[in-house]
Amino acid sequence: MEFKPISDLFRDEVVDQRVCIRGWIYRRSVVGKKAFVRVRDSSGVIQVVVEASKLGEELVDELKNIGLEASVVACGVVKKSEKAPGGYEVEADLFSIVGYSRDFPIKGGEGIDYLLDNRHLAIRSPKYSKLFKIKHSVLKAGREYFIKQGYWEVTPPIITASACEGGATLFPVDYFGSKAYLSQSAQLYLEALIYVLEKVFSLTPSFRAEKSRTRRHLAEYWHLEPEAAWYHMDDMMKEAEGLVSYIVERVLEERKSELVDLGRNIEVLKKALNTPYPRVKYDEAIEILQKKGVNIKWGDDLGADEERILTMEFDTPIFLTHFPKEIKSFYMKIDRSRPEVVLGFDLLAPEGYGEIIGGGEREDDYETLYKRLVEQGLNPDDYKWYLDLRRYGSVPHSGFGLGIERAVMWIAGLDHIRETMPFPRFRERVYP
Protein backbone atom coordinates (compact mmCIF):
# COMPACT_ATOMS: atom_id res chain seq x y z
CA MET A 1 0.00 0.00 0.00
CA GLU A 2 1.58 3.28 -1.13
CA PHE A 3 0.58 6.39 0.76
CA LYS A 4 0.42 9.90 -0.68
CA PRO A 5 0.83 13.18 1.20
CA ILE A 6 -2.55 14.86 1.46
CA SER A 7 -1.22 18.02 -0.19
CA ASP A 8 -0.65 16.00 -3.40
CA LEU A 9 -4.37 15.36 -3.79
CA PHE A 10 -5.46 18.93 -4.52
CA ARG A 11 -4.76 18.67 -8.25
CA ASP A 12 -6.98 17.88 -11.21
CA GLU A 13 -4.44 15.31 -12.41
CA VAL A 14 -5.25 13.11 -9.40
CA VAL A 15 -9.04 13.20 -9.87
CA ASP A 16 -10.56 9.71 -10.41
CA GLN A 17 -7.35 8.06 -9.22
CA ARG A 18 -7.38 5.68 -6.27
CA VAL A 19 -5.08 6.83 -3.47
CA CYS A 20 -4.26 5.90 0.11
CA ILE A 21 -3.61 8.37 2.91
CA ARG A 22 -2.89 8.16 6.62
CA GLY A 23 -3.21 10.72 9.35
CA TRP A 24 -5.42 11.96 12.18
CA ILE A 25 -9.07 12.97 12.40
CA TYR A 26 -9.27 16.75 12.48
CA ARG A 27 -13.04 17.16 12.17
CA ARG A 28 -15.95 14.80 11.48
CA SER A 29 -19.70 14.83 11.01
CA VAL A 30 -22.27 12.19 10.13
CA VAL A 31 -25.32 12.91 7.99
CA GLY A 32 -27.67 9.98 7.47
CA LYS A 33 -25.66 7.07 6.16
CA LYS A 34 -22.56 9.11 5.35
CA ALA A 35 -19.64 10.21 7.49
CA PHE A 36 -17.59 13.22 6.42
CA VAL A 37 -14.19 12.90 8.04
CA ARG A 38 -11.51 15.56 7.66
CA VAL A 39 -8.16 13.84 7.90
CA ARG A 40 -4.91 15.74 8.41
CA ASP A 41 -1.29 14.79 7.97
CA SER A 42 1.82 16.98 8.09
CA SER A 43 1.07 18.36 4.62
CA GLY A 44 -2.61 19.30 4.80
CA VAL A 45 -6.24 18.37 5.48
CA ILE A 46 -8.71 16.64 3.15
CA GLN A 47 -12.28 15.41 3.51
CA VAL A 48 -12.86 11.65 3.33
CA VAL A 49 -16.41 10.47 2.61
CA VAL A 50 -17.35 7.16 4.24
CA GLU A 51 -20.64 5.68 2.97
CA ALA A 52 -22.54 2.93 4.78
CA SER A 53 -23.46 1.36 1.45
CA LYS A 54 -19.76 0.74 0.72
CA LEU A 55 -18.17 0.21 4.13
CA GLY A 56 -21.07 -0.78 6.37
CA GLU A 57 -23.38 0.97 8.82
CA GLU A 58 -21.31 -0.23 11.79
CA LEU A 59 -18.31 1.89 10.70
CA VAL A 60 -20.46 4.95 10.04
CA ASP A 61 -22.08 4.57 13.47
CA GLU A 62 -18.66 4.28 15.06
CA LEU A 63 -17.55 7.49 13.34
CA LYS A 64 -20.45 9.36 14.94
CA ASN A 65 -18.64 9.17 18.26
CA ILE A 66 -15.04 8.75 17.19
CA GLY A 67 -12.70 11.04 19.10
CA LEU A 68 -10.83 13.83 17.41
CA GLU A 69 -7.17 12.99 16.73
CA ALA A 70 -7.82 9.28 16.28
CA SER A 71 -5.26 7.99 13.78
CA VAL A 72 -6.64 6.44 10.60
CA VAL A 73 -5.79 4.93 7.23
CA ALA A 74 -8.06 5.58 4.25
CA CYS A 75 -8.06 4.58 0.59
CA GLY A 76 -10.41 5.67 -2.15
CA VAL A 77 -10.97 7.67 -5.31
CA VAL A 78 -10.22 11.41 -5.44
CA LYS A 79 -13.15 13.55 -6.59
CA LYS A 80 -13.68 17.26 -7.16
CA SER A 81 -16.38 18.72 -4.96
CA GLU A 82 -17.45 22.33 -4.52
CA LYS A 83 -18.84 21.48 -1.09
CA ALA A 84 -15.63 19.92 0.21
CA PRO A 85 -13.07 22.11 1.99
CA GLY A 86 -10.35 22.78 -0.56
CA GLY A 87 -12.51 21.58 -3.47
CA TYR A 88 -11.41 17.92 -3.40
CA GLU A 89 -12.35 14.86 -1.36
CA VAL A 90 -11.70 11.13 -1.18
CA GLU A 91 -14.59 8.67 -1.61
CA ALA A 92 -13.40 5.87 0.64
CA ASP A 93 -13.45 2.18 -0.22
CA LEU A 94 -11.26 1.39 2.79
CA PHE A 95 -11.21 3.14 6.16
CA SER A 96 -9.57 1.77 9.28
CA ILE A 97 -8.89 3.19 12.73
CA VAL A 98 -5.28 2.67 13.84
CA GLY A 99 -5.26 4.44 17.20
CA TYR A 100 -8.37 5.46 19.13
CA SER A 101 -8.70 8.87 20.81
CA ARG A 102 -11.25 9.33 23.57
CA ASP A 103 -12.42 12.77 24.74
CA PHE A 104 -9.62 14.81 23.19
CA PRO A 105 -9.15 17.68 25.71
CA ILE A 106 -8.93 20.52 23.18
CA LYS A 107 -12.27 21.30 21.60
CA GLY A 108 -11.89 25.00 20.77
CA GLY A 109 -12.29 28.20 22.77
CA GLU A 110 -9.90 27.29 25.59
CA GLY A 111 -7.79 29.97 27.29
CA ILE A 112 -4.06 30.42 26.68
CA ASP A 113 -2.95 28.93 30.02
CA TYR A 114 -5.02 25.81 29.40
CA LEU A 115 -3.55 25.49 25.90
CA LEU A 116 -0.02 25.94 27.26
CA ASP A 117 -0.66 23.28 29.91
CA ASN A 118 -1.72 20.99 27.05
CA ARG A 119 0.88 22.23 24.59
CA HIS A 120 1.85 18.68 23.61
CA LEU A 121 -1.66 18.32 22.15
CA ALA A 122 -2.34 21.92 21.11
CA ILE A 123 0.54 21.89 18.62
CA ARG A 124 -1.31 19.30 16.52
CA SER A 125 -3.32 22.16 15.01
CA PRO A 126 -2.67 22.80 11.29
CA LYS A 127 -1.76 26.34 12.33
CA TYR A 128 1.37 25.04 14.02
CA SER A 129 2.22 22.84 11.08
CA LYS A 130 2.37 26.01 8.99
CA LEU A 131 4.33 27.97 11.59
CA PHE A 132 6.92 25.27 12.18
CA LYS A 133 7.44 24.85 8.43
CA ILE A 134 8.08 28.60 8.16
CA LYS A 135 10.56 28.34 11.02
CA HIS A 136 12.26 25.41 9.28
CA SER A 137 12.74 27.57 6.18
CA VAL A 138 14.12 30.43 8.30
CA LEU A 139 16.67 28.11 9.92
CA LYS A 140 17.65 26.54 6.61
CA ALA A 141 18.00 29.90 4.89
CA GLY A 142 20.17 31.26 7.70
CA ARG A 143 22.60 28.39 7.35
CA GLU A 144 22.55 28.64 3.55
CA TYR A 145 23.35 32.34 3.61
CA PHE A 146 26.43 32.06 5.80
CA ILE A 147 27.78 29.03 3.98
CA LYS A 148 27.41 30.89 0.67
CA GLN A 149 29.29 33.83 2.19
CA GLY A 150 32.25 31.63 3.12
CA TYR A 151 31.53 31.13 6.83
CA TRP A 152 32.29 27.93 8.72
CA GLU A 153 29.66 26.49 11.06
CA VAL A 154 31.06 25.72 14.51
CA THR A 155 29.70 24.25 17.75
CA PRO A 156 30.43 26.42 20.81
CA PRO A 157 29.37 25.23 24.29
CA ILE A 158 26.15 26.24 26.02
CA ILE A 159 27.57 25.71 29.52
CA THR A 160 29.85 28.66 30.25
CA ALA A 161 32.08 29.88 33.06
CA SER A 162 31.27 33.58 32.71
CA ALA A 163 28.62 36.03 31.53
CA CYS A 164 28.39 37.46 28.05
CA GLU A 165 25.59 39.98 28.55
CA GLY A 166 25.16 40.48 32.29
CA GLY A 167 24.98 38.61 35.58
CA ALA A 168 21.36 39.52 36.30
CA THR A 169 20.14 37.51 33.32
CA LEU A 170 22.15 34.33 33.91
CA PHE A 171 20.80 30.86 34.70
CA PRO A 172 23.30 29.27 37.14
CA VAL A 173 23.92 25.53 37.06
CA ASP A 174 25.84 23.20 39.35
CA TYR A 175 28.68 21.90 37.21
CA PHE A 176 30.24 19.03 39.17
CA GLY A 177 30.29 21.13 42.32
CA SER A 178 31.36 24.37 40.66
CA LYS A 179 29.14 27.23 39.52
CA ALA A 180 28.59 27.58 35.79
CA TYR A 181 25.92 29.18 33.64
CA LEU A 182 23.69 28.46 30.67
CA SER A 183 24.90 30.45 27.69
CA GLN A 184 23.41 33.85 26.88
CA SER A 185 25.31 33.93 23.60
CA ALA A 186 28.01 32.02 21.75
CA GLN A 187 29.77 35.28 20.89
CA LEU A 188 32.83 35.07 23.15
CA TYR A 189 33.67 31.58 21.91
CA LEU A 190 33.06 32.59 18.31
CA GLU A 191 35.58 35.41 18.78
CA ALA A 192 38.21 32.82 19.73
CA LEU A 193 37.41 30.79 16.63
CA ILE A 194 37.92 33.64 14.15
CA TYR A 195 41.66 33.32 14.77
CA VAL A 196 41.65 29.90 13.17
CA LEU A 197 38.73 30.07 10.68
CA GLU A 198 38.31 33.86 10.20
CA LYS A 199 34.55 33.72 9.46
CA VAL A 200 32.39 31.50 11.65
CA PHE A 201 28.75 31.11 12.66
CA SER A 202 26.74 28.97 15.05
CA LEU A 203 23.12 28.13 15.69
CA THR A 204 22.62 27.37 19.37
CA PRO A 205 20.07 27.77 22.15
CA SER A 206 20.53 30.81 24.38
CA PHE A 207 19.08 31.42 27.82
CA ARG A 208 18.09 34.70 29.49
CA ALA A 209 16.85 34.92 33.08
CA GLU A 210 15.58 38.49 32.78
CA LYS A 211 12.34 39.29 34.55
CA SER A 212 10.53 40.46 31.42
CA ARG A 213 7.50 38.52 30.28
CA THR A 214 6.31 40.33 27.21
CA ARG A 215 5.07 39.27 23.80
CA ARG A 216 8.71 39.38 22.60
CA HIS A 217 10.51 37.52 25.41
CA LEU A 218 11.44 33.90 25.93
CA ALA A 219 13.74 32.42 28.58
CA GLU A 220 15.09 29.95 26.01
CA TYR A 221 15.44 30.71 22.31
CA TRP A 222 17.57 29.91 19.28
CA HIS A 223 20.41 32.20 18.34
CA LEU A 224 22.05 32.49 14.92
CA GLU A 225 25.40 34.22 15.42
CA PRO A 226 28.21 35.08 12.97
CA GLU A 227 31.63 36.50 13.84
CA ALA A 228 34.23 37.62 11.29
CA ALA A 229 37.86 38.71 11.50
CA TRP A 230 38.81 41.97 9.78
CA TYR A 231 35.17 43.15 9.70
CA HIS A 232 34.27 46.63 10.91
CA MET A 233 30.77 47.62 11.98
CA ASP A 234 29.65 48.70 8.51
CA ASP A 235 30.86 45.39 7.05
CA MET A 236 28.79 43.42 9.54
CA MET A 237 25.72 45.60 9.02
CA LYS A 238 25.85 44.73 5.32
CA GLU A 239 26.03 41.07 6.34
CA ALA A 240 23.03 41.48 8.64
CA GLU A 241 20.79 43.05 5.99
CA GLY A 242 22.00 40.50 3.46
CA LEU A 243 21.01 37.69 5.83
CA VAL A 244 17.57 39.09 6.62
CA SER A 245 16.67 39.85 3.01
CA TYR A 246 17.88 36.37 1.98
CA ILE A 247 15.79 34.68 4.70
CA VAL A 248 12.67 36.63 3.68
CA GLU A 249 13.27 35.80 0.02
CA ARG A 250 13.60 32.09 0.72
CA VAL A 251 10.53 31.99 2.97
CA LEU A 252 8.48 33.75 0.31
CA GLU A 253 9.66 31.19 -2.24
CA GLU A 254 9.10 28.11 -0.06
CA ARG A 255 6.28 29.06 2.31
CA LYS A 256 4.09 31.57 0.54
CA SER A 257 0.96 29.44 0.90
CA GLU A 258 1.57 28.99 4.63
CA LEU A 259 2.03 32.74 5.06
CA VAL A 260 -1.19 33.45 3.17
CA ASP A 261 -3.11 30.87 5.22
CA LEU A 262 -1.88 32.59 8.39
CA GLY A 263 -3.13 35.93 7.09
CA ARG A 264 0.28 37.51 6.49
CA ASN A 265 0.36 40.53 4.18
CA ILE A 266 2.83 39.30 1.56
CA GLU A 267 3.25 42.68 -0.14
CA VAL A 268 4.29 44.33 3.12
CA LEU A 269 6.77 41.54 3.85
CA LYS A 270 8.29 41.84 0.36
CA LYS A 271 9.55 45.32 1.21
CA ALA A 272 12.22 43.70 3.38
CA LEU A 273 13.86 42.45 0.17
CA ASN A 274 14.95 46.01 -0.63
CA THR A 275 18.42 46.74 0.73
CA PRO A 276 20.28 48.67 2.01
CA TYR A 277 18.10 49.30 5.04
CA PRO A 278 17.91 52.80 6.54
CA ARG A 279 20.55 53.73 9.13
CA VAL A 280 19.41 55.78 12.14
CA LYS A 281 21.87 56.89 14.82
CA TYR A 282 20.82 56.72 18.45
CA ASP A 283 20.95 60.53 18.65
CA GLU A 284 18.46 60.83 15.79
CA ALA A 285 16.22 58.19 17.33
CA ILE A 286 16.03 60.13 20.60
CA GLU A 287 15.07 63.28 18.70
CA ILE A 288 12.36 61.43 16.74
CA LEU A 289 10.90 59.98 19.92
CA GLN A 290 10.99 63.28 21.79
CA LYS A 291 9.16 65.00 18.94
CA LYS A 292 6.49 62.34 19.22
CA GLY A 293 6.02 63.13 22.89
CA VAL A 294 7.93 60.16 24.33
CA ASN A 295 9.47 60.83 27.74
CA ILE A 296 13.04 59.83 26.95
CA LYS A 297 16.46 61.46 27.17
CA TRP A 298 19.91 60.80 25.79
CA GLY A 299 21.47 57.91 27.68
CA ASP A 300 18.21 55.98 28.19
CA ASP A 301 17.86 52.52 26.73
CA LEU A 302 15.10 51.93 24.22
CA GLY A 303 12.43 49.44 25.16
CA ALA A 304 9.76 47.67 23.14
CA ASP A 305 7.44 50.67 23.12
CA GLU A 306 10.11 53.05 21.84
CA GLU A 307 11.22 50.56 19.18
CA ARG A 308 7.63 50.12 18.04
CA ILE A 309 7.21 53.86 17.58
CA LEU A 310 10.45 54.09 15.59
CA THR A 311 9.64 51.18 13.31
CA MET A 312 6.25 52.59 12.42
CA GLU A 313 8.14 55.38 10.64
CA PHE A 314 9.60 52.91 8.13
CA ASP A 315 8.28 50.10 5.94
CA THR A 316 11.54 48.10 5.92
CA PRO A 317 13.83 46.96 8.73
CA ILE A 318 16.03 49.77 10.06
CA PHE A 319 19.44 49.91 11.74
CA LEU A 320 19.82 51.78 15.01
CA THR A 321 23.51 52.59 15.64
CA HIS A 322 26.07 54.34 17.88
CA PHE A 323 24.57 53.76 21.33
CA PRO A 324 25.87 55.32 24.55
CA LYS A 325 28.55 53.02 25.97
CA GLU A 326 26.84 52.89 29.38
CA ILE A 327 23.87 50.96 28.01
CA LYS A 328 25.88 48.45 25.99
CA SER A 329 28.04 45.46 26.91
CA PHE A 330 31.72 45.61 27.81
CA TYR A 331 32.85 44.04 24.54
CA MET A 332 31.44 46.78 22.28
CA LYS A 333 34.21 48.80 20.61
CA ILE A 334 34.31 52.44 21.67
CA ASP A 335 34.11 54.94 18.81
CA ARG A 336 37.54 56.59 18.97
CA SER A 337 36.17 59.77 17.36
CA ARG A 338 33.42 59.97 19.96
CA PRO A 339 34.31 58.02 23.11
CA GLU A 340 30.87 58.28 24.73
CA VAL A 341 29.35 55.91 22.13
CA VAL A 342 30.11 52.43 20.86
CA LEU A 343 30.18 50.95 17.38
CA GLY A 344 27.10 48.83 17.94
CA PHE A 345 23.87 48.31 16.05
CA ASP A 346 20.42 46.83 16.42
CA LEU A 347 18.29 45.81 13.46
CA LEU A 348 14.63 46.58 14.10
CA ALA A 349 11.90 44.82 12.16
CA PRO A 350 9.08 47.03 10.81
CA GLU A 351 5.38 47.02 11.73
CA GLY A 352 6.18 47.47 15.41
CA TYR A 353 8.10 44.20 15.85
CA GLY A 354 11.35 45.82 16.97
CA GLU A 355 14.76 44.30 17.55
CA ILE A 356 15.59 41.03 15.83
CA ILE A 357 19.39 41.50 15.62
CA GLY A 358 21.92 42.99 17.99
CA GLY A 359 25.57 43.33 17.06
CA GLY A 360 28.54 45.52 16.35
CA GLU A 361 32.30 45.82 16.30
CA ARG A 362 34.19 44.21 19.19
CA GLU A 363 36.77 45.99 21.29
CA ASP A 364 40.13 44.69 20.05
CA ASP A 365 42.48 46.64 22.34
CA TYR A 366 43.58 44.84 25.52
CA GLU A 367 43.84 47.87 27.83
CA THR A 368 40.51 49.35 26.72
CA LEU A 369 38.72 46.04 27.14
CA TYR A 370 40.27 45.49 30.58
CA LYS A 371 39.10 48.94 31.66
CA ARG A 372 35.58 48.30 30.35
CA LEU A 373 35.31 45.08 32.35
CA VAL A 374 36.27 46.90 35.53
CA GLU A 375 33.87 49.77 34.78
CA GLN A 376 30.98 47.32 34.47
CA GLY A 377 31.82 45.60 37.75
CA LEU A 378 33.10 42.39 36.18
CA ASN A 379 36.14 40.47 37.40
CA PRO A 380 38.87 40.51 34.71
CA ASP A 381 40.18 37.21 36.10
CA ASP A 382 36.98 35.55 34.92
CA TYR A 383 37.74 36.77 31.39
CA LYS A 384 41.46 36.02 31.25
CA TRP A 385 41.06 33.77 28.22
CA TYR A 386 38.94 36.40 26.47
CA LEU A 387 41.51 39.11 27.23
CA ASP A 388 44.21 36.81 25.83
CA LEU A 389 42.61 37.15 22.41
CA ARG A 390 43.69 40.81 22.50
CA ARG A 391 47.26 39.93 23.55
CA TYR A 392 48.15 37.53 20.77
CA GLY A 393 47.54 38.88 17.29
CA SER A 394 44.38 40.93 17.88
CA VAL A 395 42.50 42.09 14.80
CA PRO A 396 39.40 44.21 14.13
CA HIS A 397 36.36 41.95 14.18
CA SER A 398 32.59 42.15 14.33
CA GLY A 399 29.52 40.00 14.75
CA PHE A 400 25.87 39.88 15.65
CA GLY A 401 23.11 37.65 16.95
CA LEU A 402 19.77 37.01 15.23
CA GLY A 403 16.96 35.81 17.48
CA ILE A 404 15.31 33.11 15.39
CA GLU A 405 11.97 33.27 17.17
CA ARG A 406 11.74 37.06 16.91
CA ALA A 407 12.48 36.83 13.20
CA VAL A 408 9.81 34.14 12.75
CA MET A 409 7.34 36.21 14.76
CA TRP A 410 7.81 39.15 12.40
CA ILE A 411 7.94 37.15 9.16
CA ALA A 412 4.79 35.20 10.04
CA GLY A 413 3.02 38.30 11.40
CA LEU A 414 2.33 36.83 14.84
CA ASP A 415 1.04 38.62 17.92
CA HIS A 416 3.14 36.67 20.43
CA ILE A 417 6.54 35.00 20.34
CA ARG A 418 5.29 31.92 22.21
CA GLU A 419 3.63 30.75 18.99
CA THR A 420 7.06 30.27 17.36
CA MET A 421 8.20 27.56 19.81
CA PRO A 422 6.78 24.06 20.18
CA PHE A 423 7.34 24.26 23.93
CA PRO A 424 7.98 27.89 24.95
CA ARG A 425 9.85 28.66 28.16
CA PHE A 426 8.76 31.69 30.19
CA ARG A 427 9.57 33.34 33.46
CA GLU A 428 8.15 31.60 36.58
CA ARG A 429 6.56 28.60 34.91
CA VAL A 430 7.73 25.68 32.81
CA TYR A 431 4.97 24.19 30.69
CA PRO A 432 5.16 20.60 29.41
What is the pLDDT at residue 348? 98
**Residue 103, phi-psi category: left (phi > 0), alpha (psi -120 to 50), beta (remainder):** left
* Average pLDDT of the chain to the nearest whole number: 95
Instruction: Please report whether residue 304 resides in a domain.
Output: yes
Q: Looking at residues 103-111, what average pLDDT do you find?
A: 92
Do 93 and 130 fall within a single domain? no
Confidence grade of residue 1 (pLDDT, cut at 50, 70, 90): confident
Do 362 and 274 fall within a single domain? yes
Do 211 and 139 fall within a single domain? yes
Do 246 and 326 fall within a single domain? yes
Q: How many domains does the chain have?
A: 2
Confidence grade of residue 170 (pLDDT, cut at 50, 70, 90): confident
DSSP string, 397-431: EEEEEEEHHHHHHHHHT-S-GGGGSSS-B-SS-B-
Instruction: Please report whether residue 26 resides in a domain.
Output: yes
User: What pTM, to 2 d.p., does this model score?
Assistant: 0.94
Do 400 and 263 fall within a single domain? yes
Q: How many CB atoms lie within 10 A of CB 224?
A: 24
Q: How far apart are CA 270 and CA 77, in angstroms?
A: 40
Give tens-digit pLDDT for 255-307. Answer: 999 999 999 999 999 999 999 999 999 999 999 999 999 999 999 999 999 99
Do 86 and 171 fall within a single domain? no
Beta-strand ranges (E) seen in 81-142 are 88-99
> What Å distances lie between residue 388 and 155, 355, 394, 400, CA to CA?
21, 31, 9, 21
**At how many degrees (to 10) do helices 126-148 and 233-254 cross?**
140
Check whether 431 has a pLDDT greater than 80: no
Do 295 and 398 fall within a single domain? yes
Task: Give 33's contacts (C-beta < 8 A, 6+ positions apart).
Answer: 51, 52, 53, 57, 60
Among residues 99, 134, 162, the one where a domain terminates is 99
What is the pLDDT at residue 165? 65
Considering only CA atoms, give the Rg of the chain: 26
Amino acid in position 10: F
Instruction: Please report whether residue 185 resides in a domain.
Output: yes
Instruction: Please report whether residue 207 resides in a domain.
Output: yes
Do 222 and 325 fall within a single domain? yes
Instruction: Please report whether residue 1 resides in a domain.
Output: no
Confidence grade of residue 432 (pLDDT, cut at 50, 70, 90): confident
Give tens-digit pLDDT for 389-400. Answer: 999 999 999 999
H-only helix segments in 161-254: 187-197, 233-254
Share of the chain above pLDDT 90, in %: 90
Do 219 and 366 fall within a single domain? yes
What is the pLDDT at residue 427? 75
Instruction: Please report whether residue 107 resides in a domain.
Output: no
Q: Looking at residues 144-158, what average pLDDT do you find?
A: 98
Do 216 and 269 fall within a single domain? yes
The answer to whether the CB of 223 falls within 8 A of the CB of 388 is no
What is the pLDDT at residue 136? 98
Residue 365's domain comprises 119-420
Do 274 and 382 fall within a single domain? yes
What is the pLDDT at residue 108? 87
Q: How many CB atoms lie within 10 A of CB 393?
A: 8
In CATH, what number is assigned to the domain containing residue 27?
2.40.50.140
Instruction: Please report whether residue 113 resides in a domain.
Output: no
Q: Is the peptide bond before 276 cis (omega within 30 degrees of 0)?
A: yes
Q: Looking at residues 14-23, what average pLDDT do you find?
A: 97
Do 89 and 127 fall within a single domain? no
DSSP letter (8 states) at residue 203: E
Instruction: Please report whether residue 112 resides in a domain.
Output: no
The answer to whether the CB of 59 falls within 8 A of the CB of 50 is yes
